[in-house]
Protein backbone atom coordinates (compact mmCIF):
# COMPACT_ATOMS: atom_id res chain seq x y z
CA UNK A 1 0.00 0.00 0.00
CA UNK A 2 1.49 3.31 -1.10
CA UNK A 3 0.92 6.40 1.10
CA UNK A 4 2.08 9.78 -0.15
CA UNK A 5 1.44 13.48 0.34
CA UNK A 6 -0.96 15.06 -2.11
CA UNK A 7 0.04 17.86 -4.46
CA UNK A 8 -2.05 20.59 -6.11
CA UNK A 9 -2.16 18.43 -9.24
CA UNK A 10 -3.98 15.73 -7.24
CA UNK A 11 -6.85 17.99 -6.18
CA UNK A 12 -9.25 17.32 -9.12
CA UNK A 13 -8.99 13.51 -8.95
CA UNK A 14 -9.01 13.50 -5.13
CA UNK A 15 -12.08 15.76 -4.99
CA UNK A 16 -13.96 13.52 -7.44
CA UNK A 17 -13.10 10.44 -5.37
CA UNK A 18 -14.23 12.14 -2.14
CA UNK A 19 -17.49 13.21 -3.79
CA UNK A 20 -18.17 9.53 -4.57
CA UNK A 21 -17.12 8.45 -1.06
CA UNK A 22 -19.39 11.01 0.64
CA UNK A 23 -22.35 10.88 -1.78
CA UNK A 24 -24.63 9.19 0.79
CA UNK A 25 -23.07 10.84 3.87
CA UNK A 26 -25.83 12.24 6.11
CA UNK A 27 -24.26 15.71 6.41
CA UNK A 28 -23.51 15.98 2.70
CA UNK A 29 -27.09 14.86 1.94
CA UNK A 30 -28.40 17.48 4.39
CA UNK A 31 -26.31 20.26 2.83
CA UNK A 32 -26.92 19.25 -0.80
CA UNK A 33 -30.41 17.75 -0.89
CA UNK A 34 -30.73 17.64 -4.66
CA UNK A 35 -29.30 14.19 -5.39
CA UNK A 36 -28.63 14.72 -9.13
CA UNK A 37 -26.47 17.83 -8.51
CA UNK A 38 -24.91 16.64 -5.24
CA UNK A 39 -21.77 15.20 -6.83
CA UNK A 40 -20.96 18.48 -8.59
CA UNK A 41 -21.25 20.58 -5.43
CA UNK A 42 -19.58 18.02 -3.19
CA UNK A 43 -16.64 17.87 -5.61
CA UNK A 44 -16.39 21.68 -5.44
CA UNK A 45 -16.53 21.59 -1.64
CA UNK A 46 -13.70 19.05 -1.34
CA UNK A 47 -11.61 20.92 -3.92
CA UNK A 48 -12.04 24.06 -1.82
CA UNK A 49 -11.02 22.27 1.38
CA UNK A 50 -7.98 20.84 -0.39
CA UNK A 51 -6.91 24.24 -1.77
CA UNK A 52 -7.04 25.68 1.74
CA UNK A 53 -5.14 22.80 3.38
CA UNK A 54 -2.64 21.83 0.65
CA UNK A 55 -0.15 24.46 1.81
CA UNK A 56 0.23 22.65 5.13
CA UNK A 57 1.44 19.55 3.23
CA UNK A 58 -0.66 17.30 5.45
CA UNK A 59 -3.04 15.82 2.88
CA UNK A 60 -2.27 12.13 2.39
CA UNK A 61 -3.40 9.74 -0.32
CA UNK A 62 -3.33 5.95 -0.48
CA UNK A 63 -2.89 3.72 -3.54
CA UNK A 64 -3.01 6.56 -6.03
CA UNK A 65 -6.33 8.25 -5.29
CA UNK A 66 -8.13 5.32 -3.64
CA UNK A 67 -8.37 7.16 -0.30
CA UNK A 68 -7.45 10.55 1.12
CA UNK A 69 -7.06 12.23 4.51
CA UNK A 70 -6.95 16.00 4.90
CA UNK A 71 -5.32 17.08 8.13
CA UNK A 72 -4.76 20.54 9.60
CA UNK A 73 -1.80 21.10 11.90
CA UNK A 74 -2.30 22.40 15.45
CA UNK A 75 -3.69 25.95 15.50
CA UNK A 76 -4.07 25.99 11.68
CA UNK A 77 -7.52 24.41 11.25
CA UNK A 78 -9.56 27.60 10.79
CA UNK A 79 -10.18 28.77 7.21
CA UNK A 80 -9.10 32.31 6.33
CA UNK A 81 -12.31 34.43 6.35
CA UNK A 82 -12.06 35.54 2.71
CA UNK A 83 -11.49 31.96 1.57
CA UNK A 84 -14.53 30.80 3.55
CA UNK A 85 -16.71 33.49 1.94
CA UNK A 86 -15.47 32.55 -1.53
CA UNK A 87 -16.25 28.87 -0.93
CA UNK A 88 -19.71 29.78 0.38
CA UNK A 89 -20.43 31.75 -2.80
CA UNK A 90 -19.40 28.75 -4.92
CA UNK A 91 -21.59 26.34 -2.95
CA UNK A 92 -24.68 28.50 -2.33
CA UNK A 93 -26.43 27.47 -5.60
CA UNK A 94 -26.21 23.84 -4.46
CA UNK A 95 -27.71 24.66 -1.06
CA UNK A 96 -30.48 26.90 -2.37
CA UNK A 97 -32.86 28.68 0.00
CA UNK A 98 -31.61 26.60 2.91
CA UNK A 99 -28.30 28.50 3.03
CA UNK A 100 -29.17 30.21 6.33
CA UNK A 101 -30.02 26.92 8.04
CA UNK A 102 -26.91 25.21 6.70
CA UNK A 103 -24.70 28.10 7.80
CA UNK A 104 -26.24 28.03 11.32
CA UNK A 105 -25.46 24.33 11.56
CA UNK A 106 -21.88 24.73 10.39
CA UNK A 107 -21.35 27.66 12.77
CA UNK A 108 -22.67 25.50 15.65
CA UNK A 109 -20.14 22.80 14.80
CA UNK A 110 -17.27 25.26 14.46
CA UNK A 111 -18.17 27.00 17.75
CA UNK A 112 -17.57 23.69 19.54
CA UNK A 113 -14.18 23.12 17.93
CA UNK A 114 -11.67 22.69 20.78
CA UNK A 115 -9.35 25.59 21.56
CA UNK A 116 -6.46 23.47 22.87
CA UNK A 117 -3.75 22.72 20.26
CA UNK A 118 -4.53 19.55 18.30
CA UNK A 119 -4.31 17.93 14.88
CA UNK A 120 -7.64 18.22 13.06
CA UNK A 121 -8.85 15.53 10.70
CA UNK A 122 -10.94 17.63 8.32
CA UNK A 123 -11.73 14.86 5.80
CA UNK A 124 -11.13 11.11 5.53
CA UNK A 125 -12.67 9.20 2.64
CA UNK A 126 -12.17 6.05 0.59
CA UNK A 127 -13.34 5.13 -2.89
CA UNK A 128 -16.57 3.15 -2.27
CA UNK A 129 -15.34 -0.06 -3.96
CA UNK A 130 -12.08 0.06 -1.94
CA UNK A 131 -13.63 0.45 1.52
CA UNK A 132 -12.71 -2.24 4.02
CA UNK A 133 -9.14 -2.68 2.73
CA UNK A 134 -7.46 -0.75 5.58
CA UNK A 135 -6.64 2.33 3.52
CA UNK A 136 -8.34 4.74 5.95
CA UNK A 137 -6.49 3.17 8.89
CA UNK A 138 -3.14 3.68 7.17
CA UNK A 139 -4.01 7.29 6.38
CA UNK A 140 -5.10 7.94 9.97
CA UNK A 141 -1.83 6.65 11.32
CA UNK A 142 0.21 8.81 8.96
CA UNK A 143 -0.58 11.55 11.53
CA UNK A 144 -1.79 9.70 14.66
CA UNK A 145 1.61 8.04 15.10
CA UNK A 146 3.14 11.52 15.07
CA UNK A 147 0.49 12.70 17.56
CA UNK A 148 1.51 9.90 19.92
CA UNK A 149 5.22 10.55 19.48
CA UNK A 150 4.85 14.32 20.04
CA UNK A 151 2.08 13.95 22.68
CA UNK A 152 -0.44 16.06 20.75
CA UNK A 153 -4.20 15.32 20.72
CA UNK A 154 -6.36 14.95 17.60
CA UNK A 155 -9.95 15.96 16.83
CA UNK A 156 -12.62 15.28 14.19
CA UNK A 157 -16.33 15.47 13.49
CA UNK A 158 -18.35 12.74 11.81
CA UNK A 159 -21.95 12.57 10.70
CA UNK A 160 -21.98 8.81 10.14
CA UNK A 161 -22.79 6.65 13.15
CA UNK A 162 -20.82 3.62 11.91
CA UNK A 163 -17.71 5.83 11.70
CA UNK A 164 -17.94 6.46 15.45
CA UNK A 165 -16.96 2.83 16.09
CA UNK A 166 -14.15 3.04 13.51
CA UNK A 167 -12.66 6.16 15.10
CA UNK A 168 -13.16 4.75 18.61
CA UNK A 169 -10.94 1.78 17.65
CA UNK A 170 -8.21 4.33 16.88
CA UNK A 171 -8.45 6.07 20.25
CA UNK A 172 -11.05 8.78 19.63
CA UNK A 173 -13.87 9.36 22.12
CA UNK A 174 -17.17 11.13 21.53
CA UNK A 175 -17.17 14.41 23.45
CA UNK A 176 -20.56 15.62 22.23
CA UNK A 177 -23.40 14.70 19.91
CA UNK A 178 -24.88 17.73 18.18
CA UNK A 179 -27.97 17.78 15.98
CA UNK A 180 -27.85 20.08 12.96
CA UNK A 181 -30.92 22.32 12.43
CA UNK A 182 -33.61 20.04 10.97
CA UNK A 183 -30.77 17.71 10.10
CA UNK A 184 -28.69 14.73 11.17
CA UNK A 185 -26.53 14.33 14.27
CA UNK A 186 -22.82 15.13 14.27
CA UNK A 187 -20.45 13.37 16.64
CA UNK A 188 -17.52 15.46 17.91
CA UNK A 189 -14.56 13.23 18.77
CA UNK A 190 -11.29 13.85 20.62
CA UNK A 191 -8.23 11.64 20.90
CA UNK A 192 -5.60 12.02 23.60
CA UNK A 193 -2.16 10.84 22.52
CA UNK A 194 -1.28 7.25 23.35
CA UNK A 195 1.89 7.30 25.41
pLDDT of residue 80: 55
pLDDT of residue 144: 97
What does the alpha-carbon distance between residue 63 and residue 6 come to, in Å, rounded to a whole number? Answer: 12
pLDDT at 193 over 60: yes
Mean pLDDT of 138-145: 95
pLDDT of residue 90: 60
Q: Which helix (H) or strand (E) holds 156?
A: strand 154-158
pLDDT of residue 114: 93
pLDDT in tens, 99-120: 778 878 878 888 899 999 999 9
pLDDT in tens, 1-26: 799 999 999 999 999 999 999 999 99
pLDDT at 88 over 70: no
Q: Is the pTM of this model over 0.95?
A: no
Question: In terms of residues, how long is the chain?
Answer: 195
User: Which fold is adopted by the domain 3-191?
Assistant: Aminopeptidase (3.40.630)
Mean pLDDT of 136-141: 95
By the 8 A CB rule, do 67 and 125 touch? yes
| Cα 148 to the center of its chain, rounded Å | 21
Mean pLDDT of 53-79: 91
Grade residue 81 by pLDDT with cuts at 50, 70 and 90.
Answer: very low
The more confident residue out of 189 and 48 is 189
pLDDT of residue 172: 98
Ranges of each domain in the chain: 3-191
pLDDT at 43 over 50: yes
**Average pLDDT of every residue of the chain:** 90
Distances 163 to 130, 137, 157, 170 between C-alpha atoms, Å: 16, 12, 10, 11
Amino acid sequence: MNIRRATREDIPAMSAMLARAFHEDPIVSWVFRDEPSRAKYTRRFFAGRARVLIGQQEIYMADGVAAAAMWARPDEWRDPPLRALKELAILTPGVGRRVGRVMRGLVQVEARHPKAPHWYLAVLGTEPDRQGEGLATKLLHAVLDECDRDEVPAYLETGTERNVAFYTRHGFKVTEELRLPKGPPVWLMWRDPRL
